[in-house]
Chains A and B, each alone.
Chain A
Amino acid sequence: MGLAAPQAAMAPGLLSAAGRERLAFMLLVAPALLFAGAFYFLPIAQVLWISVSEPRPGLGNYAQLFTSTSIARVLATTARICAITTAITLVCSYAVAYALTHARPTIRRLLTIGVLLPLWVSVLVRAFAWMALLRREGLVNTALLASGLIDHPLGLIWNEFGVVLGMVHYMLPYGILPMAVQMRQIDPALAAASRGLGAGAFETFWRVFLPLSLPGLIGAGVLVFIFSLGFYVTPVLLGGGRTIMVAEYISVQIMDLLRWGTGTMLATTLILAILVALGLLSRVVDLRQLFGAR
């Protein structure tokens, strides 16, 4: 309370300084807010609006979620592929994140480059490379035929196998990096203590390290699942029109059939599904840490 008097005495100067600070803050963030508001959030809001207003006002579009068999099939395919992709990605990511956390600096640097390079390379380049490898006349089939292991080329692409393979490849860095960040925060002394108390290597991993790394595992899992849900490029190119996920279905509704109501309804459903997943996730881990904002 003793501070009250000098504070009051300085009030005029303080106020104007605070006012200037606020003005500076607003000037700095205004361009981003206006830019994103006009050219990002407005278009997104429009998608939500169209879903309840075209072709006629109401929730008619959403009824299709329960009545249309083709939509049901697409949603089932999407859920199945995303679940399989997430599961495989998590197992593989865990192995790499574990190695990254425990490796010597040189090895860690090599591993990091091995993870970052694919992350940075264009998704189209990667889809193209998978095609060169996996199509009927591709390198893998050619090699297997030449070696006599198979008589007929295997169907490795333009089916669910190809889509999952391409998606796992795309998602791995998004699984590995957040997991490695979280694992690095686990105190190595805990594992050492467990060993010191007589637990074997496996028991230490199973009962000490794994439980401690669970938040990272769950966080990475939800992140990968969310990214998989709305993924467009790889499923379209490697699915070859036979394995259709929801993002491709949406684009067909809009570009080919001009059914904006159905397309935007599915887009809105996608956003809602993602928000629910994020909501569940925020109970387990700090979201900002996951997205690198901290």
Chain B
Amino acid sequence: MRQQGRNVGAWLVICFLLLPITVVFPISVTDRDYLSLPVSGVSLRWYANLFTRPEWISSIGQSLVIAVCSMVIAVGVGTLCAIGCWRRGSRVSEAIRVLMLVPLIVPTIVYALGLYRLWVRLDLLDTYTGIVIAHAVTAVPYVIIIVSTGLAGFDVRLEQAARNLGADLRQTLWLVLVPSLVPALVSSAIFAFIHSWDEAVIVLFIAGRGLFTLPRRMWDGINDKLDPTMAAVAAVLITVTAVLLLVDLVLKRRQV
């Protein structure tokens, strides 16, 4: 009985967690001009808006380009670092791993301030390069954590065997480590992608008139007029996120 009672509390919390996520879907098909549940029928015009209005399309495109570029950089740099620290296993490598986790702790707003000043000097404000670098560098900690976890289950002797059989570092990486790390790499790539795709704070600081990523467009949409197109955007984003999460869970299961 008591066990049951405790679980009720847990399920209530889960319902609270899922409430705002589920409520977006009925709102996105409302037949009214404002945010409400559908009253006398459903309408798909908000989705039509989303996929036909040039401002939403260009924002989706910009966010895609930035997220893919920063994902590639973060996964590359972070994976090498994780492998290096794993092979070495010394105090120095432990210190490096801790150092690389700092961006998880420092509030983004603090970083955005410093980056703004640096980008003014390097003339990178309001550029793709500027945002890609910022998103990549803040995604590296996630990659390092995920790849390190993947490496923890990897037999060090396989790597040593490859080296003993005459493989050089590059060959060991490409032919032995990377293939067996594929699930962790995909998982970290998904995480790095979502990190950039959803990132709003840095973009609000370092993007000007030229760049309107999807989060920035949503930020403005939330602050200006709460039009149901926003609900369609939210519904699409939640669906995409749910699919990526499922892919990640399936990968993790195979890994274990």
Interface residues of A (CB under 8 A from B): 21, 24-29, 31-33, 35-36, 39-47, 50, 92-93, 95-96, 98-100, 102-103, 107, 111, 113-118, 120-133, 135, 137-139, 142, 169, 172-173, 201-202, 226, 229-233, 237, 247, 250-251, 254-255, 263-264, 267, 270-271, 274, 278, 287-288, 291-294
Evaluate contact between A139 and B23: CB separation under 8 angstroms: yes
Chain B residues whose CB sits within 8 angstroms of the CB of A124 once the complex forms: 198, 200, 215, 218-219, 222
Quick check: A291 and B145 within 8 Å, CB to CB? yes
CB atoms of B107 and A32 under 8 A apart: no
**B130 and chain A: residue at smallest CB distance:** A39
Once A96-B14, A139-B36 are accepted as A-B contacts, the answer to whether A32 and B242 lie under 8 Å apart by CB is: no
Q: Which 10 A-B pairs have the closest CB atoms?
A: A230-B107, A28-B84, A43-B114, A129-B20, A99-B10, A32-B81, A114-B14, A95-B9, A122-B198, A29-B84
Beta-carbon contact of A132 and B27 below 8 Å: yes
| Inter-chain contact A32/B116, CB cutoff 8 Å | no
**Binding stretch for chain A, among B40-48, B51-59, B180-188, B230-238:** B230-238
The answer to whether B21 and A24 touch across the interface, beta carbons within 8 angstroms, is no
Chain B residues within 8 Å of A, Cβ to Cβ:
2-3, 6-7, 9-11, 13-14, 16-21, 23-24, 27, 34-37, 73, 76-78, 80-81, 83-85, 87-88, 93, 96-111, 113-118, 133-134, 136-138, 140, 144-145, 148-149, 152, 169, 194, 197-198, 200-201, 204-205, 215, 218-219, 221-223, 226, 230-231, 233-234, 237-238, 241-242, 244-245, 249
Q: Please measure, in the bound complex, the distance between the C-alpha atom of A46 and the C-alpha atom of B36, giving whole angstroms.
A: 47
Which residue on chain B has the smallest CB distance to residue A173? B17
* Chain A neighbourhood of B76, CB < 8 A: 31
A267 near B113 with CB under 8 A, answer yes
B6 touches A95 (CB 8 A): yes
In contact, A114 and B237 (Cβ under 8 angstroms)? no
- Smallest Cβ distance from B225 to chain A, in angstroms? 12
The answer for the CA separation of A98 and B237 in the assembled complex, in Å, is 31
> Closest approach, in angstroms, between the C-beta of A118 and any C-beta of chain B?
4
Pick 15 A–B contacts, CB within 8 A, sort by A: A21-B88, A25-B88, A27-B169, A28-B80, A122-B197, A128-B226, A131-B35, A131-B222, A142-B36, A231-B107, A237-B223, A251-B109, A254-B113, A267-B109, A293-B97
CB of A214, distance to nearest CB on chain B (Å): 18
Q: Contact check: which of A47, A129, A142 meets B234 at CB < 8 Å?
A: A129
Partner of B108, one of A29, A96, A232: A232
Partner of A24, one of B37, B169, B231, B249: B169
Question: Does the CB pair A127–B222 fall under 8 Å?
Answer: yes
The answer to whether B114 touches A28, judged by C-beta atoms less than 8 angstroms apart, is: no
Report B-chain residues with C-beta under 8 Å of the C-beta of A173: 17
Q: A35-B77, A123-B200 are in contact. Are A274 and B222 (CB under 8 A)?
A: no
A51 to B168 CA separation, bound complex (whole angstroms): 48
A143 → chain B closest CB, angstroms: 9
> In whole angstroms, what is the CA distance A204 to B44 when docked?
55
B230 close to A36 (CB less than 8 A):
no
Cβ of A32: which chain B residues have Cβ within 8 Å of it? 77-78, 80-81, 96, 100, 140, 144
B230 touches A96 (CB 8 A): no
Alpha-carbon gap, A202 to B103, bound state (A):
41
**CB-based contact A139/B37 at 8 Å:** yes
Does B107 lie within 8 Å of A43, measured CB to CB?
no
B81/A133 in contact, CB under 8 A: no
Within the complex, what minimum Cβ distance (angstroms) separates B148 from chain A?
A: 6
> Contact: B149 with A129, CB < 8 Å?
no
- Asked whether B137 lies within 8 Å of A39 as measured between CB atoms, the reply is yes
With A117-B245, A139-B27, A250-B109 already in contact, 20 other A-B pairs whose C-beta atoms are closer than 8 Å: A24-B87, A32-B100, A36-B140, A46-B117, A95-B10, A99-B6, A100-B10, A117-B241, A118-B21, A125-B21, A125-B237, A125-B238, A126-B21, A128-B218, A128-B221, A130-B20, A251-B204, A271-B106, A274-B105, A291-B101
Contact A28 B87 (CB under 8 A): yes
B83 proximity list for chain A (CB < 8 A): 28
Q: How far is the CB of A286 from chain B (nearest CB, A)?
A: 12
Q: Residue of A at shortest CB range from B109? A: A247
- A250 nearest CB neighbor, chain B only: B109
Residues of B within 8 A of A40 (CB): 102-103, 111, 137-138
Tell me, rounded to whole Å, the shortest Cβ–Cβ distance linking B115 to chain A. 5
Given known contacts A39-B137, A118-B21, A28 and B222 CB-to-CB distance under 8 angstroms: no
Picked from A44, A99, A135, A172, the residue with its CB within 8 Å of the CB of B114 is: A44
User: In the complex the two chains form, is A46's CB within 8 Å of B114's CB?
Assistant: yes
Task: Point out which of B7, B109, B136, B238 has the most chain A C-beta atoms below 10 A from its C-beta.
Answer: B109
> Which listed residue, B96, B137, B241, touches A122 by the CB 8 Å rule?
B241
B118 close to A43 (CB less than 8 A): yes
A202 surroundings in chain B (CB, below 8 A):
2
A229 close to B107 (CB less than 8 A): yes
Q: Which of B116, B140, B149 sits near A292, CB closer than 8 Å?
A: B149
Tell me which residues across on chain A come within 8 A of B7, comparing CB atoms: 99, 103, 107
A24 CB → nearest B CB, Å: 5
